[in-house]
Amino acid sequence: MSHSNTLNNLKFNNRYLQALPADPETDNHRRQVLDAGYSFVNPTPVSNPSLVAVSPEVAELIGLDLTECESAEFTQVFAGNKLLEGMQPYALCYGGHQFGNWAGQLGDGRAINLGEVITPQGTQQTLQLKGAGPTPYSRMADGLAVLRSSVREFLCSEAMHHLGVPTTRALSLILTGEEVRRDMFYDGRPAMEPGAIVCRVSPSFTRFGSFEIFASRGDTVNLKKLADHTIQSNFSHLLSSNKTPDKDTYLAWFSEVCDRTAEMIVHWMRVGFVHGVMNTDNMSILGETIDYGPYGWLEDYNPGWTPNTTDKQERRYRYGDQPKIAHWNLFQLANAIYPLIKDEDALHEILDDYGLRYQQRWQTMRAEKLGLNTFEPDTDTALNHDLHTLLQQTETDMTLFYRHLAGIPADDMLDDDALIAPLIPAFYTPDTLPDNHLANLAMWCRQYQQRIQQDGTDDATRRTRMHAVNPKYVLRNYMAQLAIDAADEGDYGVIHELLDVLRHPYDEQSEHAKYAAKRPDWARSRAGCSMLSCSS
């Protein structure tokens, strides 16, 4: 084992702490924190931590050998029981709009940053423990997390990365050895659950709400400090030779934030991911997917679906509205940074461009999902609209449909039954599909054939293209629940198996084909497999 790959050789510089003022009060009690970007707070020690899983790729990213991650010291550090030299734990202060309403101060209520580590590549990654105890921002909560939500966060962070979706990462999942009281269904029947901690990793955990809190308080001095630090640390390519951000820098930065956000949302739509809680405090300034709570993947293709029980009535954060909500959130960010720019027209122009950028990326993504060389609006707008209409008419598994669509041949000599045969496994009730639906599906497939013939790409090349963007494996909620059920019994094998499978979501992996199946009937209404609460 290389000496440089040990815990004690991790180097921290904690730039954020140097750039923003600290909360002068150091007692860990709930309070409003003014004129500060963060509060110093230590993780709450736990009694008997044990390692459940580690992501080898994230360990390598921050410069740790995998064998080091299996050490007792690693478990103590990432359970919050021990601090390495250079670590300075703190919780971030931020606000946010929740379900469209300004919520005031929120902050890291159950997340504690250990510090910013310098990676072997010379970049920086912030190490953050989720579920490590209360902070000044915990309000009425205990700052802890339970195993079921921690398993979901750990697996999904890594699954999204390997799908090619911008995301925060997860280094480790550790049991605390303690029980946590949770009311999973918000029905007045709380129960004790195993406690757990996930170490999340990202270049920055700054959110849209980090800027909103300063703007809401008229604190332009700290608003500017935060913006300047964010640009200098994570958008330094936008700086001119003098290294001092000015109005043009802020506009270029906001434009890139819009661009990154559009890119992230297009990826969500590509793989059928629904975040579930797109509040502005859950929007990363880096355009990364952050805060994996009641998320889910479309199984039945339904643009109106949301996995969040809290949003069951309004469905504000449903799958089909995610691009629009991202735009709304960016508008709130524009309001927050306006005091630094004072040019409403320029900000509106960038916000208007978001729609165009998103549309362009969406069209490119749709062409890729269908295996086409380019998106041709004259034909492909209607082709996509008709397909989406068709998919909603009967229960159709989105992931399987696009994966099997690659099996449709360009050759138009097949009869209707043979033509649509590759798609039948994507339907939940294939034996009871109405004749008119089968006829409409065959009609669409013939239009699709004409389009791919026009493209002139051979079937093998098109299939390879489609399999590179249409995953075979995603972290369906029932799969995560299987891992949780096993973990509750002390069996972590399913977690490790899923972590391995989800590292290669576009590969066939025939030995793991059971995880490429439609949602089973038992999972339709079971808690954790359909809609989920924010309880963690």
| Tokens of residue 496, six digits | 């490790």
In sequence order, the 6+-apart residues with CB closer than 8 A to the CB of 291 are 277, 282
Closest CA to 150 of 126, 128, 174, 168: 174
Q: Give the angle subtended at the CA of 314 by the CAs of 309 and 317, to the nearest 5°.
A: 70
Q: 3-state class of 240 per DSSP?
A: coil
C-alpha 472/C-alpha 463 separation (Å) is 13
Contact predicate 172/144, CB 8 Å: no
C-alpha 227/C-alpha 232 separation (Å) is 9
C-alpha 301/C-alpha 518 separation (Å) is 12
Q: 3-state class of 450 per DSSP?
A: helix
C-alpha 246/C-alpha 251 separation (Å) is 9
- Residue with token string 């901690």: 197
Q: 3-state class of 446 per DSSP?
A: helix
Q: Give the angle subtended at the CA of 137 by the CAs of 287 and 481, to the nearest 5°.
A: 60
Q: Are strands 191-202 and 296-297 parallel, antiparallel or unpaired?
A: unpaired
Annotation marks residue 183 as catalytic: no
C-alpha 214/C-alpha 211 separation (Å) is 6
Secondary structure, 3-state, 488-532:
HCCCCHHHHHHHHHCCCCCCCCHHHHHHHCCCCHHHCCCCCCCCE
| Tokens of residue 222, six digits | 């700290």
Catalytic residue among 281, 291, 311, 397: 281
**Alpha carbon distances (Å) from 355 to 2, 328, 383, 502:** 49, 11, 21, 32
Element (DSSP H or E) covering residue 419: helix 416-420
Left, alpha or beta for 143 (phi > 0: left; psi -120 to 50: alpha)?
Answer: left
Q: What b/e readout covers 57-69, taking b as 16+ CB neighbours within 10 angstroms?
A: ebbebbbbbeebb
Q: Strand pairing partners for 179?
A: 194
- Residue with token string 């004072």: 342
Q: What is the CA radius of gyration of the chain?
A: 24
Closest CA to 524 of 277, 352, 296, 253: 296
Contact predicate 227/334, CB 8 Å: no
Contact predicate 274/301, CB 8 Å: no
Q: Strand pairing partners for 83?
A: none
- Residues with catalytic roles: 281
